[in-house]
A = this chain, B = another copy of it.
Amino acid sequence: MSGYYALPLELLAEEFAKLPGIGMKTAHRLAYSIISRPEEEVQTFADALLAAKRDIHFCPCCQNLTDLELCPICADDQRDHSTICVVESPKDVTALERTGEYRGVYHVLHGLISPIDGITPNKLRMRELLARINQGDVSEVIMATNPTVEGDATAMYLAQLLEPLGLTVTRLAFGLPVGGTLEYADEVTLFKALENRTPLYKS
| Number of copies of this protein chain within its complex | 2
Please measure, in the bound complex, the distance between the C-alpha atom of A34 and the C-alpha atom of B56, giving whole angstroms. Answer: 10
B12 touches A34 (CB 8 A): no
Contact A50 B46 (CB under 8 A): yes
For residues 4 through 53 of chain A, which have their beta carbon under 8 Å from a beta carbon of chain B? 4-9, 11-12, 14-15, 18-22, 26, 28-35, 37, 39, 41-53
Query: Is the CB–CB distance between A66 and B6 below 8 Å?
Result: yes
The SS class assigned to the A binding surface is helix
Question: Which residues of A are at the interface with B, using a C-beta cutoff of 8 A?
Answer: 1, 3-9, 11-12, 14-15, 18-22, 26, 28-35, 37, 39, 41-56, 65-68, 71-72, 89-91, 93-94, 97-98
Contacts A19-B33, A21-B26; A49 near B42 (Cβ below 8 A) = yes
